[in-house]
Structure 1
């Protein structure tokens, strides 16, 4: 199957996903379950990485500012812009693509190879809607919260790194954070996050739903889905940046 056929099959899948759920009580139960699995259980890894990456950005910026004519507030300003523009929406999404994408593909793929999806279809259940829509809505509604949390912890991590190493003054860092604050950049980051959340939920679901074979093929599909999810995120990041910031 060539790439064009895969894309066509992917959009046909989405057409089935966005149909109205057959039983809303079952749908809401599945949605809250997916929020816990895909969202709440991702808070720890996002918080840990955001805090230390923010510290690294601040320290590297401080180490590269050797000219005394350059104001030290640039450290806080550069950390803030780097975190909001790229780290929080893009890097966090790539992390989630690996963690969440492999989980989605393996869980749906296992249901496929064990014929549980066939059983759902025999009972007249729209399996695409039942399996994928709760995952999609859980990621779209919860991941902006994760990105905002990542922004805050990354900037806070930069402050902790600076004060712990005495490489810059706390007042300079805070002044850099406050300088030239543009609320649109937050909106830009959240728009990218929603698009990336859609990709993280649907691309791995596609690979898991249409997997064929046994457990070995499910493992291969999980790896392939993570790779393609990251590729699509990086490509979309380029075009979104062109459209939203130029």
Structure 2
């Protein structure tokens, strides 16, 4: 009993000792929901009270301690907690340029054949996608070369014989074989998946939908009008 409150107090004390510092609380609604709710425990109320006391900073110099929090359900926050935050900033979904950049960042150094116009096209096709949606899309696409390699019936051997890459039956030099057959011949380490292409993205995007609904966006917009400010 009381350990959770002590942890909250210790957290703020540590931040003050190491100032300038930032305390970041993700999904703060799970910790600071509306008081008086039927499913709220006594322990939860005590933790919330301690957090409010520490954020008020009575008797402490908190000029160099920033408390930053994030939530997807702003209306679920306790009013007193909401008032403790001087700024309530709405971070909208990424725009076209941001999505274009996200696709590049998540692909990283993975071999691909996409041009700048391809990335721009992907950004246009993913209007309404969150950063998480873009990440999920890219993660799914990263498996496409592996799937192609596993299902391939034809492989192309490089001129120096160092790699075998999946290809179509009409490609010059195509050899009818499978990944399993190449592995049995001791060439498993020479099999190279093809680079990611725009077609791979189109295949994934054909079955993926944004996870943030228009109704949710309207809630955030309404909350911003009432209590916050644009990011």
Question: Higher Cα Rg: structure 1 or 2?
Answer: 2
User: Do they superpose with TM above 0.5?
Assistant: no
- State the structure with bigger RCO (CA 8 A, min sep 6), 1 or 2: 1
- Answer 1 or 2: which has greater strand percent: 2
Shorter-chain TM-score tier: under 0.3
TM-score (normalised: structure 2) = 0.27
